[in-house]
Amino acid sequence: LGSRINTALQNLSKEAAIDSKAVDALLMEICKALLESDINVKLVHQLRTNVKKSIDLDQLASSANKRRVIQNAVFEELCNLVDPGVEQWKPKKGKSNVIMFVGLQGNGKTTTCTKLAAHYHRKGWKTGLVCADTFRAGAFDQIRQNSSKAHIPYYGRQVYSEVDPVKVASEGVKKFKKDKYEIIIVDTSGRHKQETELFKEMEEISAGVNPDNVVFVMDGTIGQAADAQARAFKESVDIGSIIITKMDGHAKGGGAISAVAATKSPIVFIGTGEHIYDLERFAPRPFVSKMLGMGDIGGLVETVRDMQLDKTHKNMFKNISQGVFTLRDMRDQLQTISKMGPLNKLMGMMPGMPPELANSFSAEDSSRKIRQSMSIFDSMTEQELDSDGKIFETQKSRLDRISRGSGVRPFEIHALLHQHKQFAQMVKKMGGNKGLLKNMNPEM
Ligand code: GDP
Ligand code: MG
């Protein structure tokens, strides 16, 4: 998709006179590519109209970089489509927040339930899982295995004969509420003998557990079916959030835009693998970049340049220029880098980076490693984050606490601290605005 749009854009740059016909032809080419990327026909039409409106022909004719002007207009419009402009639902402290999951069988509900439960659990919320999928024989076992691994309490029934899912859901929620659980996640079935029965069941469970938030889980690879699926669920339950799964493979993710349009709800997370840490916060710009296939080196450089460097990063540059690199600096840097694409490539681009260090981040492992690192950083205190890591050598109990909090084994935490030490030494050597720093100035 990216290359097709890029070719069309390059052809435009070569044209001497830019008139509305040339722009029309280009937009037509871009729209064809977007349709192939599973974006809904009506939305592509809307995008085309909006982009056309936003482009000023006179300005375009005089602009030195015509490609950029149009590329930006398309990019911004896609970002608008993927963001419904409503605030994300957030759980409230001091009450039981009930989150109900809905979505068709196989879309990743059960897997994502556990991922989200583990996410809240790590952040210190008292979290429980309820299995209201009484349709699939193995559903309860799946929840039991997943939750046990993540040390999260669960409620459900082994299915031997007819069990009423509404009853199980209500009982589970009631029990967890009584025990003052703060986050109660209800997994549901996604299959029925008849579709109308499924939607009726969703309505009844929703009426039974009275959810504070309904999460619609959608497989990122389903393509044009997204629109109909999202609409059908929206009609039976009050969807408040979306999670798109299986974005680790070759999913183009265009269906996500349909889901947002049909439900008017924000995408809050994306699933990027089968493992419990493979859940990332959704961010429109990286998502759209990936959709357009800009995740190559050329795109990467632009991303780095375009990225708004906020105060955190300015602080980091200040620290680095003084030869200091704290654990917090490492966390911020990993967070930034993880939004940009393949880490090993990016690391390789950094001047002064020892090759063995860059290569230690292989493409497949790197995103998992980053997420694991983030869980470790999440479990650190402010004092620990602002430190150079030496306190972990003198006070071993801190390491145990972080291991418990993050669910990461101590030797892996050691490995992270060791890596940080290597970085810190490198930064110390470069301190005083030399080498790397000259090229990574925040005012760039
Ligand atoms: P459910 O029927 O909606 O509950 O779906 P499941 O949670 O049982 O998931 C169906 C399949 O998709 C399982 O094999 C999961 O491991 C897999 N799966 C779920 N989320 C992801 C993801 O983000 N990435 C990948 N690669 N696989 C996933
Ligand atoms: Mg399931």
pLDDT at 419: 86
Q: Which of 413, 408, 302 is nearest to 349 (CA)?
A: 302
Task: Report the CATH number at residue 384.
Answer: 1.10.260.30
Question: In the numeric block, which tokens belong to residue 105?
Answer: 């069988």
Q: Rounded to the nearest whole angstrom, what is the distance from the C-alpha of residue 82 to the centroid of ligand 2?
A: 26
Q: Closest residue (by CA) to atom 6 of ligand 1? A: 108
Distance CA 331, CA 375 (A): 10
The yes-or-no verdict on residue 237 having pLDDT over 50 is yes
Tell me the pTM: 0.69
- Is there a single domain that holds both residue 279 and residue 303? no
186 CA → ligand 1 middle, Å: 16
Q: Mean of the pLDDT values across residues 129-141?
A: 90
- How far apart CA 118 and CA 183 sit, in angstroms, is 11
Assigned token pair, 125: 């919320």
Q: What was the pLDDT predicted at 295?
A: 42
Structural domain contains residue 160: yes
CA dihedral sign, ordered 318, 320, 326, 329: positive
Same domain membership, residue 187 and residue 112:
yes
Mutation test residue for ligand 1: of 130, 219, 274, 364, the one with most atoms within 8 Å of CB: 274
* Residue of the CA atom closest to atom 16 of ligand 1: 274
Is 107 found in the same domain as 51? no
List, in sequence order, every beta strand (DSSP E) within 68-167: 97-102, 127-132, 154-155
Separation of 139 CA from ligand 2 center, angstroms?
6
CA of 224 to the centre of ligand 1 (A): 19
Q: Which helix (H) or strand (E) holds 183?
A: strand 183-188
Amino acid residing at 433: N
The number of the ligand 1 atom at minimal distance from the alpha carbon of 220 is: 23
Same-domain check for residues 244 and 124: yes
Q: Which residues line ligand 1 (CB under 6 A)?
A: 103, 105-111, 190, 245-246, 248-249, 271-274, 278
As a dihedral over the C-alpha atoms of residue 283, residue 284, residue 287, residue 293, rounded to 10 degrees, the angle is -140
The ipTM estimated for the assembled molecules is 0.99
d(CA 355, CA 433): 22
Calculate mean pLDDT across residues 57-68: 67
Same domain? For 283 and 306 the reply is no
pLDDT band at 362 (very low <50, low <70, confident <90, very high): low
The verdict on 283 and 151 lying in the same domain is yes
β-pairing verdict for 267-271 and 279-281: antiparallel
Residue 17 pLDDT: 60
Residue 178 maps to a domain: yes
Q: Which atom of ligand 1 is nearest to the CA of 272?
A: 23
Residue 135 belongs to domain with CATH number: 3.40.50.300
CB 367 within 8 A of CB 272: yes
Residues within 5 Å of ion ligand 2, judged at the Cβ atom:
109-110
C-alpha 265/C-alpha 201 separation (Å) is: 22
273 and 305 housed in the same domain: no
Confirm if 82 and 266 have CB atoms less than 8 A apart: no
3-state secondary structure of 199: helix
pLDDT band for 11, please (50, 70, 90 cuts).
low
Distance 274 CA to ligand 1 centre (A): 6
Task: Give the per-residue pLDDT at 306.
Answer: 42
Residues 6+ apart with CB under 8 A from 299: 2, 289, 341
pLDDT band at 434 (very low <50, low <70, confident <90, very high): very low
In this predicted structure, what is the pLDDT of residue 340?
A: 59
- In the chain, how many domains are there? 3
Instruction: Kindly give the distance from the C-alpha atom of residue 45 to the centroid of ligand 2, in angstroms, as a whole number.
Output: 35
Res 316: pLDDT: 61
Mutation test of ligand 1: which of 102, 104, 110, 111 has the most ligand atoms closer than 8 Å to its C-beta?
111
What atom of ligand 1 comes closest to residue 113's alpha carbon? Answer: 7
pLDDT tens digits along 71-101:
778 888 888 889 998 999 999 999 999 999 9
**Residue 130 pLDDT greater than 90, yes or no:** yes
Specify the DSSP class assigned to residue 81.
Answer: H
Q: Which of 81, 116, 132 is the last residue of a domain?
A: 81
Q: Is residue 365 part of a domain?
A: yes
The residue out of 236, 267, 288 marking a domain boundary is 288
Span from the CA of 212 to the centroid of ligand 2 (angstroms): 21
The H-or-E segment that residue 269 falls in is strand 267-271
358 in any annotated domain: yes
Q: How many angstroms separate the Cα of 130 from the Cα of each of 60, 144, 185, 198, 269?
A: 56, 10, 6, 18, 20
301 & 284 share domain: no
C-beta atoms surrounding 250 within 10 Å = 8
Task: State both tokens at 327.
Answer: 């654990």
Q: What Å distances lie between residue 431 and 188, 342, 420, CA to CA?
A: 55, 27, 16
**Which residue among 288, 313, 347 closes a domain?**
288
Q: Does the pLDDT at position 256 exceed 70?
A: yes
Give the separation between CA 271 and CA 217, rounded to whole angstroms.
10
Residues 203 and 68 both lie in one domain: no
pLDDT band of 194, cuts 50, 70, 90 = confident
The number of the ligand 1 atom at minimal distance from the alpha carbon of 133 is 4
**Tokens, residue 17:** 């006179």
Domain range enclosing 192: 97-288
Ligand nearest to the CA of 165: 2
pLDDT of residue 357: 61
Angle between helix 20-36 and helix 66-81 axes, rounded to 10 deg: 40
Asked if 367 contacts 279 with a C-beta cutoff of 8 angstroms, the reply is no
